[in-house]
């Protein structure tokens, strides 16, 4: 048994084996093809990362074998639906006939923490993550939007931030409290960006920031009332996708 924050579960262990080199080469070419088709880098990375994981368990170039493996995999219908979409793109790139299996996502209500739980989390983490989470709470911006904020986006005279657009959203100017402005202003001014390192890919650095901040800086005693006991076993979800380098 282990304690975890309510609504959160740790990922299962990652597999260390790699698919055959010819498949890796095909995935690199597939990623470049997606870029030429106008897909965003985050979309390219999630497609390639997921298919790389799938190629460790079945022959990716045999569409029927892949469909059989996917049908038996212990994954949610929603995740299978996403993987089927990735596969459809890959086989279109390869010129391989593929009839996508129909999977229907089961809609569920999202986990919504209480305001008390959010405040406990904000107070439990380090200075930088605390300011980041407070910004999300007050403005409702996407994590990627907040991650790309620059110091020039903060208006000290009017106590507002100008949010850059992400994923077809619109730019907007939002009021912030004196508390949030003080938290932001208390951060070191080491680059043009408030939170991110400009020398690292934006999406990858956000993942690293989130993981290391929570693990290293969180004072779990301050959120202990939000902890619940969960069984050691967790559902298999080994095709986790996210923002990573193509073949990292």
Query: Phi and psi at residue 137, in whole multiples of 5°?
Result: -65, -45
Q: Are 167 and 142 in contact (CB under 8 A)?
A: yes
- pLDDT tens, residue by residue, 66-124: 999 988 888 888 888 999 999 999 999 999 888 888 878 777 788 888 889 989 988 88
Between CA 116 and CA 114 the distance in angstroms is 5
Q: Is residue 105 part of a domain?
A: no
Question: Residue 82: helix, strand or coil by DSSP?
Answer: helix
Helix, strand, coil tally for the chain in percent (to 5): 50, 10, 45
Per-residue model confidence (pLDDT) at position 19: 66
Q: Is residue 234 part of a domain?
A: no
Does one domain contain both 52 and 134? no
Between CA 195 and CA 38 the distance in angstroms is 28
- pLDDT tens, residue by residue, 24-59: 889 999 999 999 999 888 889 899 999 999 998 889
Q: How far is residue 153 from each of residues 98, 150, 158, 194, measured CA to CA in Å?
A: 47, 5, 12, 9
Does one domain contain both 130 and 78? no
Q: Is residue 115 part of a domain?
A: no
Q: Is residue 144 part of a domain?
A: yes
- DSSP label of 220: G
Per-residue model confidence (pLDDT) at position 208: 55
Q: In the listed set 94, 114, 139, which residue is the last one of a domain according to the structure?
A: 94
180-189 mean pLDDT: 93
pTM exceeds 0.75: no
Query: Phi and psi at residue 111, in whole multiples of 5°?
Result: -75, 125
Q: Is residue 209 part of a domain?
A: yes
pLDDT at 9 over 70: no
Percent of all residues in the chain with a pLDDT value above 70, rounded to a whole number: 72
Q: Are 30 and 2 in contact (CB under 8 A)?
A: no
pLDDT at 221 over 50: no
Per-residue model confidence (pLDDT) at position 51: 92
Per-residue model confidence (pLDDT) at position 219: 44
Per-residue model confidence (pLDDT) at position 99: 85
13-27 mean pLDDT: 69
Q: Are 136 and 163 in contact (CB under 8 A)?
A: no
Between CA 90 and CA 70 the distance in angstroms is 15
Q: In the listed set 76, 94, 112, which residue is the last one of a domain according to the structure?
A: 94
Q: Is residue 148 part of a domain?
A: yes
Higher pLDDT pick, 40 / 10: 40
Higher pLDDT pick, 143 / 184: 184
Per-residue model confidence (pLDDT) at position 47: 93
Between CA 97 and CA 23 the distance in angstroms is 18
Does one domain contain both 19 and 87? yes
Does one domain contain both 165 and 90? no
Q: How many domains does the chain have?
A: 2
Q: Which domain holds residue 168?
A: 126-217
Q: Is residue 245 part of a domain?
A: no
Per-residue model confidence (pLDDT) at position 225: 43
Of 55-69, 81-95, 172-186, 216-230, the poorest mean pLDDT is in 216-230
């Amino acid at each position: 048994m282990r304690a975890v924050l309510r609504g959160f579960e740790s990922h299962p262990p990652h597999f260390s084996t790699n698919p055959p080199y010819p498949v890796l080469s095909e995935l690199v070419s597939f990623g470049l093809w997606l870029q030429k088709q106008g897909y965003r880098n985050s979309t390219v990375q999630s497609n390639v990362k997921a298919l790389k994981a799938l190629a460790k368990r079945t022959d990716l170039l045999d569409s029927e074998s892949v469909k059989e493996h996917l049908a038996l995999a212990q994954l949610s219908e929603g995740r299978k639906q996403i993987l089927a979409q990735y596969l459809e793109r890959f086989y279109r790139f390869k010129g391989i006939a593929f009839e996508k299996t129909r999977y229907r996502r089961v809609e569920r209500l999202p986990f919504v923490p209480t305001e008390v739980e959010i405040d406990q989390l904000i107070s439990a983490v380090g200075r930088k993550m605390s300011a980041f989470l407070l910004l999300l709470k007050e403005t409702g911006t996407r994590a990627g939007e907040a991650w790309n904020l620059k110091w020039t986006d903060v208006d000290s005279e009017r106590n507002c931030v100008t949010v850059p657009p992400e994923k077809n959203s619109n730019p907007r100017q939002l009021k912030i409290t004196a508390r949030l402005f003080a938290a932001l202003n208390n951060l070191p001014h080491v680059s043009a960006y408030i939170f991110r390192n400009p020398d690292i890919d934006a999406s990858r650095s956000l993942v690293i920031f989130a993981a290391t901040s929570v693990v290293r800086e969180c004072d779990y005693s301050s959120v202990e009332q939000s902890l619940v006991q969960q069984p050691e076993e967790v559902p298999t979800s080994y095709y986790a996708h996210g923002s990573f380098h193509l073949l990292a």
